[in-house]
Amino acid sequence: MKKLFSLLCVTMLAMTAWGATVTDVITADDLAATNTTYVDFSGVKKNTAVYAGNTAKNSNGAIQMRSKKSNSGIFSTTSGGKLVSVKITVESGTNAIDVYGSNTAYTAASNLYSGAGNNQGTKLGSTTETATITVEGDYEYVGIRSNSGAIYISSIEITWEEGETPVETVAAPVFTPNGGEFTGSQAVTVSCATENASIYLFKVLDDGTEEYVNQFFPQNGVVSGEFYVTESAKYGAYAYKSTDYSETTYATFTKVEPTEPYTVGGVATFVAETDQDPNVELRKEADQTIVKDDVTMNFHGTVYNFYTIVDGDTTGVTYTYRIYKNQSVKFTSAAGNIRKIEFNCEEGNPVSGFADVTGLNKETATWEGKATEVTFTASNKQVRAYSITVTLDNEEPVTPAVVAPVFNPESGTKFIGSQTVSLTCETEGANILYAINDGEFQEYTAPFTITETSTIKAKAQKDNATSNEVTAKYYRTYEVSTIAEANALSNNTDFIFYGNAVVTYRNGSYTYVKDETGYGLIFGNQVDAAITEGMTLSEDWTANFYLFSGMPEYRYPSNVTATTDALVEINPIEYTVEQIDSTKMHQRVMLKGVTLTKEGDNLYLNGLQLYNQFGIELPADVEGNTYDLEAMVSYHKALQLYPIAITEAAAPAGMRGDINDDQAVTIDDVTAMIDYLLSGNATGLNLSNGDCDLNGEIAIDDVTTLIDYLLSGNWANN
């Protein structure tokens, strides 16, 4: 696919000297001749979506271009020169199209380009006839993008002025492992050493044709991807960056039958629903040890999904083993060797969240191998499994030549200030190596001290044998005395609170607090139900500061108690709608006389959703009414209000002099008052407003007082 236009460019470069102007015309027929469904222009940036072939051409034989912004066509020079023009001929039926020119770098995330100096060269609306759209100038980049639907292009004419050809060598991709035999399935990584390059991966079929498999794009400058081989196959890959391509590398994998077929010695099945401990508090993250049929499963997490028990009812609860990010689950056999581990995972939380483990097929959620101990670590997100099945053989368990080191204290320990860690190994004469936070391994000679939350890896070596690598994580608990200090912590940080926070509102697992420095939310059912608003919390409670979809909260609270002092009076803070923003997070607020709108079952206030988190009774029909709204300010991907109470707004207080009750004091009120004094008819009048001199009756003196007010702006007896 890359060869056709590479040859075109090479031919053109050979025909011209430096500084010459070169024009190349690419037609629909040229593209169709490649007999491919994807065309990669020489000089076109990644994510180009120009298609050729009979299925992608309209009745006029024009190329079809998809409408997604991320698939816009990006043209750049094949040398160090400048583009002179890009001329695009479109056929009838084409949707609206944009053409841009720029000298700034291409960035897929922001339309076509980023930086200053963008030039929107041309826009073309939908057309019912053949049209030509051209951008001319002195640009490094020109891009085309559909605004709505398919673009039908019959030809593209690119003219550029040659310059010095930039020299960049793109390193060829590397397969790890680089082919070979495998049983079951084989995890393979492919990587490229050239910063910000991309990798195109394909399979070589038996007839020699290439079948696209995947593309891997750079993350923070590094490009590396993983795929799984389940059958014998030959794979190829090349890397590219801008218009430069690497050599293609190949790797051949051959699937063979296991050389040591085993006889099943036993099956241990772990089912989360039956392993949930009713004595463990909800949402409590703890060290779990579960034993089934000679297999022990250890992990740091929970054995249930988030839910709230209502009067002891847990109907509809979904139970899963939850292994949190950066946490591990370890399986240990006391009988035969572990040969297979099968995960039955919750949708959206597959074992792809586990770090690379030899023998783990992330596509089938199955590990196969031979060991007495297997550990998986959730590296990029938590893993949830409804059940886990472990199969053992009937052989003597494999005894490792070197026993893995043991941490003291054990993994999961929380500390304040600093923590001393020691390592021991049962294998006499073995050397212990350890690494902190993905640093280099170093020899262990004596206990060491850490002062921050740290992940430590360790292994033991003796002669030519190495133990299994083990991991422990230690969590620093930070000391804070104010809510402002707690809210300034890094995400997912444990803390102990030494100040005095007052409860401003309590509803189930939501405990809102404040002190003189700010506002916060303690989230979790671990807070005693007897703690209510107005109470002052005692010191030394702990929690984990966490940003949940943008909302700061203190999760996994423990040791939350309250003093027996008198209750603090809690009153909502009155604001206008315009004053509600993220700086009011977790405040208890009052908004008076507001108008609500309804969309479906949801209520809104000036675009802010009133999310009924606390299950209050909402007004059924809000049209034409005004309300006083008491709520907690919250956030879930956008600013929200959690209503506490919604009541119809009280009628406006009486307005002195406004006898005709039109909410204004004018000469009309003088006329209405005189009419009343002459006729005695009070229909439609607010007589309490007519007592302008405040003597308890309406008389001609009130007319005089009202006229004086209208002339002077002041009431006579104020």
Contact call for residues 379 and 408 (beta carbons, < 8 A)? no
Burial class (CB in 10 A: 0-12, 13-18, 19+), 558: middle
DSSP SS3 for 3: helix
Residue 93: both structure tokens together: 């039926």
Strand 360-361 to 264-271 pairing: unpaired
Residue of 96 and 471 predicted with greater confidence:
471
Q: Where are the domains of the chain?
A: 3-161, 174-255, 264-393, 406-476, 481-558, 573-648, 667-712
DSSP assignment of 493-558: EEEEE-S--EEEEEETTEEEEEETTEEEEEESTTS-TT--TTPBBPS-EEEEEEEETTEEEEEEEE
What band does 512 get if pLDDT is binned at 50, 70 and 90?
A: very high
- Residue written as token pair 């070589």: 204
Strand 119-124 to 97-102 pairing: antiparallel
In this predicted structure, which of 411-425, 455-469, 505-519, 606-620 has the lowest mean pLDDT? 455-469
At 524, give phi and psi (nearest 5°): 150, 150
Q: Which has the closest alpha carbon to 567: 503, 511, 506?
A: 503
Two domains, one topology: 3-161 and 481-558: no
- Domain 406-476 belongs to what architecture? Sandwich (2.60)
Condensed to tens digits (0 to 9), the pLDDT of residues 532-576 reads 999 999 999 999 998 887 889 998 898 999 987 789 999 999 998
Average pLDDT, the chain: 79
- Domain 573-648 belongs to what architecture? Beta Barrel (2.40)
| Cα 367 from Cα 674, distance rounded (Å) | 95
At 54, give phi and psi (nearest 5°): -60, -40
Residue 150: both structure tokens together: 């398919």
Mean pLDDT score, 493-498? 93
**Neighbouring-strand partners of residue 151:** 65
Q: Most confidently modeled of 102-106, 389-393, 591-595? A: 389-393
CATH of domain 174-255: 2.60.40.10
DSSP SS3 for 14: helix
- Domain 3-161 belongs to what architecture? Sandwich (2.60)
What band does 351 get if pLDDT is binned at 50, 70 and 90?
A: confident
DSSP assignment of 427-443: STT-EEEEEETT---EE
Q: Which has the closest alpha carbon to 632: 550, 528, 481, 514?
A: 514
What band does 717 get if pLDDT is binned at 50, 70 and 90?
A: low
**H, E, C per residue of 39-69:** CCCCCECCCCCEECCHHHCCCCCCEEECCCH
What pLDDT score does 673 carry?
Answer: 92
What pLDDT score does 311 carry?
Answer: 54
CATH of domain 481-558: 2.40.50.200
Mean pLDDT score, 582-607? 90
Contacts of 11 (CB under 8 A, 6+ apart): none
Residue of 191 and 261 predicted with greater confidence:
191
| Cα 96 from Cα 148, distance rounded (Å) | 7
Contacts of 33 (CB under 8 A, 6+ apart): none
Amino acid occupying residue 57: K
Q: Which has the closest alpha carbon to 341: 12, 716, 349, 354?
A: 354
From residue 230, alpha-carbon distances to 224, 339, 362, 465, 705 in Å are: 20, 18, 12, 30, 97
| Cα 502 from Cα 563, distance rounded (Å) | 10
DSSP assignment of 272-330: HHHH--TTSPTT--EEEEEEETTEEEEEEEESS-S---BTTB-TT----EEE-TT-EEE
Ramachandran class of 364: left when φ > 0, alpha when ψ lies in -120 to 50, beta otherwise: alpha
Contact call for residues 438 and 471 (beta carbons, < 8 A)? no
What pLDDT score does 469 carry?
Answer: 81
Residue 76: both structure tokens together: 């750049």
In this predicted structure, which of 4-13, 371-380, 534-543 has the lowest mean pLDDT? 4-13
Mean pLDDT score, 229-252? 88
The pLDDT > 70 percentage for the chain reads 75
Residue of 128 and 436 predicted with greater confidence:
436
What is the number of helices (H) and of strands (E) in the chain? 7, 51
